[in-house]
Amino acid sequence: MNNSVKRLFRSNEPYIFLIIVILGIAVQIRSGQFFTANNIVDLLSALIVPGMFALGEFLALIAGGIDVSFPALASLSAYAVTKLLLDREYQGNVFLAFVIAALIGAVLGALNGLLIGYLNLNAMIVTLGTSSIFQGIMQGTLRANQLAAIPAGMKAFGTTALFRGSNAETGISSMLPMTFLVFVAVCIVMYLLLRYTIFGRGIYAIGGNPASAHAAGFNVRRTKFLMYIMIGIIASLSGICRVCMMQQMHPTNMLGMEMNIIAGVVLGGVSLIGGRGTLTGCILGTFLIVLVENSMILLGIPTTWSNVFVGLVILIGVSVSAYQTMHVRRAKSMNTKEAA
């Protein structure tokens, strides 16, 4: 086998992709509704918000950190923006909402970045702490409660269809909202950033070996600081997308998403110790979780069992990849033995 093909099968992505396909076929056999236009559109639309969160988490994990504050951060900035625009009775388009959310996200992310990057505190503990602070500000200071109406621009953005898919048999049709474009845009920016900028390679380098990264001339502290600002921005954009799509602002319903997001990213082959993982893997892993969460109904499994299934998929997926690395390692030790 040639080298690049070999390398591909040593990574996680093909296996996760295979699990997705198998699961898809299983649902198709059971319900006959998987490979229908409306189901695919539904799945893509369900991927938007978790997908963007996953991209942020991906950054943190690659650099050898972690972020559990993004749901609280996104809730806070999305709530603040929605409330602000409602109070001002702003009638313009959604652009301003994204800009303000990005600014708030940057400030909140900078707090994480300051503590993790410059003070070198443990990322897990810091983001647990800031998560509580963000929730506290939202519920205490801003006295957040459910906002049943949202500004006109955001409403329009969430209801305008980029694409529609309908099922000829059942007549049900689903739409892919414009927010999908935001997700795609973030994906593209992330790809370019990680692949073609010194900053992006610095994130990988720091995750691989922080001391060497410093010795190689990277400004490790500043890179981490800027990275957490970016994560804050991405999370906030995702928060606005969520509000646009739900047509209402519910301050607490994003909270608690962090664990499944992290699980998805790790499923996709992104290492918890940093430095290892690809964007494709990150998206595939997240898609797998979304797929399981959304296919319970089609499989005829009561929604109360949904968590059990998500848990099972995570365990199976992680076991497969652990088995996989064990295999590679064994092959490698055989090789070095031959060399010796």
Partner 1 sequence: MANSLLKAEHIKISFGNVHALRDVSLEIRPGEIHCLAGENGCGKSTIVKIITGVYQRDGGTIEFAGKEFGKITPIDAINAGIQVIYQDFSLFPNLTVEENLALNTEVASGKKMIHWKKVQEIAREAISKTNFDIDLKAKVEALTVAQKQMVAISRALMYNAKLIIMDEPTTALTKKEVKALFDVILQLKSQGIAILFISHKLDEVFEISDRFTIFRDGKLVATGNTKELDDKKFTFYMTGREFEDKKFEAVHISEKPVLELDGLTMEGAFQDVSFRLHGGEILGITGLLDSGRTELGLAMFGMRRATSGRILRNGEPVVIANPGDAIRHKIGYVPEDRLSEGLFLPRSIGDNIIISEIDKLTRNKIIFDLKKRDAEVAKWVQELEIKTPDPGNASTTLSGGNQQRIVLAKWLACDLDVLILNGPTVGVDIGSKHDIHNILQKLAGNGLAVIIISDDLPEVIQNCSRVLVIRSGRIVKEFQSRDVSEQLIVDAMM
Give the nearer residue to partner 1 in terms of CB position, either 50 or 207: 207
The least CB distance from residue 339 to partner 1, in Å, is: 6
The least CB distance from residue 78 to partner 1, in Å, is: 31
CA separation, residue 130 to residues 124, 194, 331, 338 (Å): 10, 26, 43, 51
The least CB distance from residue 230 to partner 1, in Å, is: 15
DSSP state of 249: B
Distance CA 201, CA 214 (A): 13
The least CB distance from residue 335 to partner 1, in Å, is: 8
How do strand 173-177 and strand 161-166 relate by DSSP bridges? antiparallel
Give the nearer residue to partner 1 in terms of CB position, either 164 or 195: 195
The least CB distance from residue 331 to partner 1, in Å, is: 10
Residues 6+ apart with CB under 8 A from 63: 203, 206, 207, 223, 224, 227, 274
Distance CA 270, CA 62 (A): 7
Give the nearer residue to partner 1 in terms of CB position, either 90 or 199: 199
Give the nearer residue to partner 1 in terms of CB position, either 209 or 252: 209
Give the tokens for residue 67: 């972020």
Give the nearer residue to partner 1 in terms of CB position, either 157 or 204: 204
Distance CA 279, CA 297 (A): 29
Binding footprint of partner 1 on the chain (CB under 8 A):
3-4, 7, 195-202, 204-205, 207-209, 211-213, 215-218, 274-276, 332, 335-337, 339-340
